[in-house]
Amino acid sequence: MIELGGKTILVTGGSRGIGEAIVRAVAAAGADVLLHYGRNRVAAEAVQRGIGPGRCRLIEADLAEEDAAARLWGRALDAAPRIDVLINNAGIFEPVPVDATTQKWRDAWARVMQVNLYAPAELCKLAIAHFRDPGDGSKGGGGKIINIASRAAHRGDAPDQWPYAASKGALIAMTKTIARGFAKDNVPAFAIAPGFTDTDMAHDGLDAAGLQRILAEIPLGSMASPQECGALAAFLCSDHVRHLTGATFDINGASYVR
């Protein structure tokens, strides 16, 4: 049984999909949650109602903006002076074909890298400083970082998804670097790499033939559920996983086995 009572966990992109499942899983295990969302406040409020506003507080920020990560972290500290776990889940897809104009190509890369890598990197930087000295009398208490990557980080992605695959590969490299560099400060870091997961984002633009093509390459015959990702994230938030630091956990139904 996972027990997260007394912990405060910040989850980015927590209003839907995998992020929502993570928020619900850690809250069910007893944690207080800081739920970041980008634009969909209605969805965020629906998750909050299911948990209770006393244990789930909402923070809005558009991570596509360069200074959004710092603003988000500041608002998180205002809401909960001690944060125990940072979960970087927010991410975007933006297809761009290889024959796009140079400007369109650069713009797509810039937007994807900003949301999927630069903002998580800045949040990790701020979290490490906080974990080293949270400012509440518990100096050196440590904390955890969990970065939600993707199967694409290992096997690549569709021909028009270079930026997405590259951002997720870099996120895993960053996670390993944090794990190696800050273990001495009691800051374990983990990555979760889902394959196709049964969320609205995964189904966006898919027709029946596309769905069958995806399922045919998954030996289990189905997409992962967001709840599987949420359960794993909750486990990694627990106090039983110190020596798993630096690891990447695949959830892809054996569609890519390393």
What is the edge-to-edge ordering of all strands in the sheet holding 32-37?
A: 56-60, 32-37, 8-11, 85-88, 144-148, 189-194, 248-251
Compute the distance between CA of residue 95 and CA of residue 114 in angstroms, rounded to an integer.
Answer: 15
Q: Ramachandran region of residue 209, left (φ > 0), alpha (ψ -120 to 50) or beta? A: alpha
Compute the distance between CA of residue 218 and CA of residue 78 in angstroms, rounded to an integer.
Answer: 44
Compute the distance between CA of residue 145 and CA of residue 88 in angstroms, rounded to an integer.
Answer: 8
Q: What does the DSSP 8-state code read for residue 116?
A: I
Please confirm, yes or no, whether 164 is among the known catalytic residues.
yes
Write out the catalytic residue numbers: 164
